[in-house]
Structure 1
């Protein structure tokens, strides 16, 4: 495989091609990631930042540094795999309009692309909850958005209605059922707005991308070790993290599954996720937040359905696809998952009350 890395990037961290071995790793679609191994068996993660997604990579570096300094001062034993400074002291090395960083490699750990055990769901949600708990008193106003409006459902709805107004009749006809479903669920946005400025619904430091592959677990017993992929560490509501866990942990199949009969909520995974998260965050969540736990899943799933539908109506310009209707199929998938949250509301709310 052609690695396409200039030696000056290695030299920025005190290495050269003779001193290291490089292998491309990771399943992420955003950044290019490499395992860097030295001859003395030290390992690091070398990563190239995607500037199409992250317009200002130094905002990422600054946010992570502020959080790292806070954690070092207040919770020095917490494992927070922040970038290692280059020889010039910078946490992000810029070379020929590309941005690179070096990260520590955490030994004897594993990251999964899919969940196969409720313990993995429990341990992952516990780790994201732990990070939120430790940052409970952090001043979120010091952080800047790395992707502006990333989880702003109102803005995502505006994008959808704009795409709808510009789309072709053919695309609109094919997606008519999903368009009507999207319009019908606008009440989710209204419900969110009724709480948005409530003092009991604070901004927190959120990870914003809590899929299972962004948690490291011990290889031997799947115990949680730490959270990784901190690019979207920025201010947000607790629903961003917990809602994204519900979206990605509860169903056995991803958004690419086209058999909608398979899109069901695994109640044992739901319980494990809520239990793990609340094992850390129960004492930090406000009463308002506790009342919005199930809503967090509806919010994020609806938003993702809108994003897929918007991309389909726009001619598939954002998400990579392998066939022309894939984003429409993904939207159908997410609307089915959203429906499952509503259909099972009493059972799910009962599990939440039990965990609280």
Structure 2
């Protein structure tokens, strides 16, 4: 992984090519990320290019992050928010040969993970994402523009699914017949969401929208959460986006790429850790309606991701990278199995939610 026009990019931030060391950094697949280490300074920096195939208007990312950064700096100056470092011209991003770049500080003594190995990690992540949600609870989320239009809009995703189904060949539909039936069966999740969508007690909030564990930084020594990162999808949405995405990506020991669905089970201790961590920060902020939708948040996000994988399979695998022809169908099966686990364990999970709510109320 190389930086094209690296000298010009570095010059935008006042660096000289022969005065820094640049190395690829992290495991992300969307943006290209580099660690920049000045030879004569102790501070390090993260330099990222923005993938315009995913984020068609990178300037919106910059605007959203700056709006939130300014709000937090004014009201919660002690909070660690990883904002962009301006170019020497004062811009939030550098644009070189049509490529958008941003620079942020590297957080010392931090570590991130691609997978969870301990419920405490789930708790710390839920607490940190919940803290960001809480601090922004009085921020006017309507100021934020969509960086990916309709990203967590289940109505849109369902329409894309039905369009893909209509256009798909009979051969492809036959291969996916069971998953298509499952997708149609679970349509009630969308209908249930729509019954709450416009409620005053189900407001739009400033949400991260991508709460996988790799978007959390932990202290290397204490393993306590430091802050959240990767703010590309910071925009207005429902609280279920952040909480539900944690459930989707933390509850199972195996990722969405695991083809053996017998391995797809939920870890109850991780579920309790997520709910406890999130309520530690958001328990006093969530409305009664939102508290009723805690478990539903996981169902919503998992179902949405399942039909996105299925739609891509029906469309000929044009969006998600695949390693073999049936991978998106296997991913669909994986997510539907995870969804069924939530329904099969519903009574236990509801009891856990109620227990966590009671404990939070007792602490107040």
- How far the C-alpha of 1:5 sits from its partner, in A, is 4.3
Q: Which residue of 2 aligns with 1:350?
A: 351
Aligned-partner Cα distance in 2 for 1:323–1:225: 38
Structure 1 partner of 2:360:
none
CA shift digits 1:89-118 (9 cap, x unpaired): 001111111100101100001000000011
Deviations 1:180-233 (A, max 9, x none): 000010000000000000000000000000000000010012101000000000
> How many angstroms apart in 2 are the aligned matches of 1:295 and 1:202?
16
Tell me, yes or no, if structure 1 residue 26 matches structure 2 residue 26: yes
Structure 2 stretches of 5 or more lacking a match? 358-364
**Runs of at least 5 residues in structure 1 that lack an aligned partner in the other structure:** none
Secondary structure of 1:18's counterpart equals helix
Separation in structure 1 between the aligned mates of residue 5 and residue 347 of structure 2, nearest angstrom: 53
Hey, what's the Cα distance between the residues in 1 that align with 2:42 and 2:221?
21
Within 5 Å, give how 1:250-289 maps onto structure 2: 250-289=251-290
Matches within 5 A, 1:113-262: 113-262=114-263
Partner secondary structure for residue 17 of structure 2:
coil
Contact 1:246 1:273 in 2 (8 A): yes
Question: Conserved in 2, the CA contact under 8 Å of 1:3 and 1:24?
Answer: no
Partners of 2:105 and 2:73 in 1: CA distance: 16
TM-score, normalisation: structure 1: 0.99
Using the alignment, how far apart are the partners of 1:259 and 1:279 within structure 2? 35
User: C-alpha distance in 2, partners of 1:352/1:274?
Assistant: 7
Question: Is it true that 1:324 corresponds to 2:322 in the alignment?
Answer: no
Deviation at 1:43, TM superposition (A): 0.5
After TM superposition, where is structure 1 displaced by more than 6 Å over at least 4 residues in a row?
none
* Distance in 2 (alpha carbons) for counterparts of 1:245 and 1:296: 9
CA contact (8 A) 2:250 2:270 kept: yes
SS at match of 1:216: strand
Q: Is the 8 A contact 2:5 2:96 kept in 1?
A: no
Equivalent-residue separation in structure 2 for 1:269 and 1:257 (angstroms): 19
Instruction: Report the RMSD for the aligned CA atoms in angstroms.
Output: 0.7
How many aligned positions are there?
A: 356
- What TM-score comes out, normalization by structure 2 length? 0.97
Q: CA deviation at 1:261?
A: 0.9
Partner Cα distance (1:3, 1:69) in 2: 30
Question: Deviation digits for residues 37-89 of structure 1, max 9, x if unmatched?
Answer: 01123200000000011111110000000000100110000000100000000
